[in-house]
Structure 1
Amino acid sequence: MSDKDNRISQVVENRQHIIKHCRGKMFTSESLKIVALICMLIDHAGATLFPQCDILRSIGRVSFPLYAFLLAQGCKHTHSMERYLLGLGIFALISEIPYDLAFGNSINFLEQTNIFYTLFLSAACVYIYDSIKKQKTMIQLIVFAVCLLFLFMEWILLTFITGERLPSVALMFSYVMGMIISCAHIFKHHEIANSKSNILINIFPILSTLPAFLLSSFIDCDYGIWGVALISLLYLAKSIKISAVIMAVLLVPYYGQHIYSNVVSFEAIRNMCFSLLSILFVCLYNGQHGSKKKWIYYWAYPLHILFFAILRCYPFF
């Protein structure tokens, strides 16, 4: 069989694989963005205009897991991570003033920050991981040593000066260890994973993302360390099925921790159930992009919270 016939056979096989994979799955990435956007609008309307209506906030729990999945897919398929990061960083800054006006009483770019900070730090973790993974062992060790120094100085600051964020640091380490365990299969398929020493060396790219995790806690970005961990793990997932499992594993404890108190919280149970609904949408994802209107969804975030902020301050505007 000639090379041309081989190429034609490969194309046909790939097309059949795509058709088989997409059969019965109706959602493109744009469809998921629309669902996430609608749920977010409902959530923020409840938070700013109708705080007495708890069901609106519960519906909003569908939104972030979908955005987390979409960002992970975006990091996998983007042609330029640098431009991707730049866009997220710019919109983090653009969105902060409307976010503070809608949900807070003062403007502060480094305290109780908006969701774009979470997305930016998550993409930064992916960029750091991918960049360091390609480097030689010595470069990995140097970067890792710098990260350890950063973390040590931060630990000194947290423990002996403030102390109040120490539980967040412990939570960060527990999530990172979970990342290492969850991603262990990556090392088994690595090109140079023939010796135990090389397998251990390739853990350093994951550990080098620790400063970004810590920063997400320090600036109190939306969903914090948990959000960054969810997106990072979804990026490393090899299939939709693995993504669904990762979402379930992280969504249940995150929302489940609010269920038990002196009395079982019905609202917390409802929030967890709505958050798990996002897994269904992900499982119906067909891998197609749909129309590429990324900037519309970027601008939708600061504009809608600015609108809600105006209505909140001037209800008869």
Structure 2
Amino acid sequence: MGKMPQKGLSGSTLKLIAIITMLIDHIGAAVIARLLIAGQGSEMLYKIYYAMRAVGRVAFPIFCFLLVEGFFYTGSRKKYALRLFGFALLSEIPFDLAFSGKILEFGYQNVFFTLLIGLLTIMLFDAVVKKQEWHPVLRSALLVIITFGGMGAAYLLHTDYDAKGVLAILVFYMTRQMRGLQIVAGCLAFCWELPAIVAFIPIAFYNGKRGWNIKYLFYAFYPVHLLVLYLICVGMGTAQIAVV
């Protein structure tokens, strides 16, 4: 007999939920927003826009959660960080085209940079936590410096979700061993953006399994879908309108 299916949601299912809600959000932010700015929108289109942006708030908490899970399951954290860095660079031009209509716009950076800074922050955090032989005061001081250093880097670089995103990743990391506390703390970390709290419903059903091997789906999908959205805007004649 074959194995009984694992109850709950696998990591790949959560990733698909995040990708779909992100796509809905970006259609609203990159395509519909331009129509509204150009004065081509109706009252119904405004309602659709706000609904799509609300749905899109679900994506980022799931990506933060999966980043932390990946941190503990990856065979090489260094390669994990390098992979995020590579796709951050690869995605920047599609991201800038989709939201500013420019090839390069340094006022706002894509979400891969936020995830990368968050990963580097918890890598340093984890290294210090494991130094049990160090004096508690020294360890505590270093953890505070690392926390504010990571948040500060995201803020100064103007990454998507900036310091709040790095803090959320740290919250997921620090509460990982206690799922109930992780969900409560995660909700508090996103209380400034209420629709994002819906993300913790599927997160609560995570079964700890990877699921389908779609490791590179998000990496590839992110720059490709942004480029497609930009080309749609080119076709509508609204590509030069900046929305960020």
Question: Would the aligned equivalents of 2:11 and 2:209 in 1 still touch at CA under 8 Å?
Answer: yes
Which residue identity lines up with residue 87 of structure 2 in the other structure? F
Question: Would the aligned equivalents of 2:150 and 2:163 in 1 still touch at CA under 8 Å?
Answer: no
Which residue identity lines up with residue 212 of structure 1 in the other structure? G
The structure 2 residue matched to 1:103, chosen from 75, 99, 103, is 99
Paired position in structure 1 for 2:21: 39
Once residues 106 and 72 of structure 2 are traced to their aligned partners in structure 1, the CA distance between those partners, rounded to angstroms, is 28
Displacement of 1:246 = 1.3
Question: Would the aligned equivalents of 1:48 and 1:309 in 2 still touch at CA under 8 Å?
Answer: yes
Once residues 53 and 78 of structure 2 are traced to their aligned partners in structure 1, the CA distance between those partners, rounded to angstroms, is 34
Which runs of structure 2 are paired with 1:137-156 in the superposition (5 Å)? none
Once residues 200 and 77 of structure 1 are traced to their aligned partners in structure 2, the CA distance between those partners, rounded to angstroms, is 30
2:160 is paired with a residue whose SS is coil
Once residues 86 and 109 of structure 1 are traced to their aligned partners in structure 2, the CA distance between those partners, rounded to angstroms, is 23
Paired position in structure 2 for 1:220: 158
Paired position in structure 1 for 2:125: 129
Displacement of 1:204 = 3.1
Once residues 96 and 85 of structure 1 are traced to their aligned partners in structure 2, the CA distance between those partners, rounded to angstroms, is 17
Paired position in structure 2 for 1:241: 180
The structure 2 residue matched to 1:284, chosen from 205, 227, 232, is 205
Displacement of 1:118 = 0.3
Which residue identity lines up with residue 95 of structure 1 in the other structure? S
TM-score by length of 2: 0.83
Displacement of 1:250 = 1.3
Paired position in structure 2 for 1:113: 109
1:64 is paired with a residue whose SS is helix
Which residue identity lines up with residue 234 of structure 1 in the other structure? F
Once residues 294 and 57 of structure 1 are traced to their aligned partners in structure 2, the CA distance between those partners, rounded to angstroms, is 26
Question: Would the aligned equivalents of 1:75 and 1:123 in 2 still touch at CA under 8 Å?
Answer: yes
Once residues 60 and 66 of structure 1 are traced to their aligned partners in structure 2, the CA distance between those partners, rounded to angstroms, is 11
RMSD (Å), alpha carbons: 2.1
Does 2:244 match 1:305? no
Over alpha carbons, which structure has the higher Rg?
A: 1
Displacement of 1:134 = 4.4
Does 2:233 match 1:251? no
Once residues 110 and 124 of structure 1 are traced to their aligned partners in structure 2, the CA distance between those partners, rounded to angstroms, is 21
Displacement of 1:199 = 2.5
Question: Would the aligned equivalents of 1:29 and 1:290 in 2 still touch at CA under 8 Å?
Answer: yes
1:54 is paired with a residue whose SS is helix
Paired position in structure 1 for 2:50: 54
2:117 is paired with a residue whose SS is helix
Question: Would the aligned equivalents of 1:85 and 1:120 in 2 still touch at CA under 8 Å?
Answer: yes
Paired position in structure 2 for 1:65: 61
Once residues 95 and 232 of structure 1 are traced to their aligned partners in structure 2, the CA distance between those partners, rounded to angstroms, is 24
Paired position in structure 2 for 1:158: none
1:287 is paired with a residue whose SS is coil
Does 2:78 match 1:82? yes
Question: Would the aligned equivalents of 2:8 and 2:207 in 1 still touch at CA under 8 Å?
Answer: yes
Displacement of 1:128 = 1.4
Which residue identity lines up with residue 112 of structure 2 in the other structure? F
Displacement of 1:206 = 1.4
Which residue identity lines up with residue 84 of structure 1 in the other structure? Y
Question: Would the aligned equivalents of 1:128 and 1:208 in 2 still touch at CA under 8 Å?
Answer: no
Question: Would the aligned equivalents of 1:93 and 1:109 in 2 still touch at CA under 8 Å?
Answer: no
Gaps of 5+ in 1: 1-18, 136-190, 256-271
Deviations 1:187-236 (A, max 9, x none): xxxx55xxxx9322221341232332211011110001000000111012
Paired position in structure 2 for 1:157: none
Does 2:10 match 1:28? yes
Displacement of 1:276 = 1.4
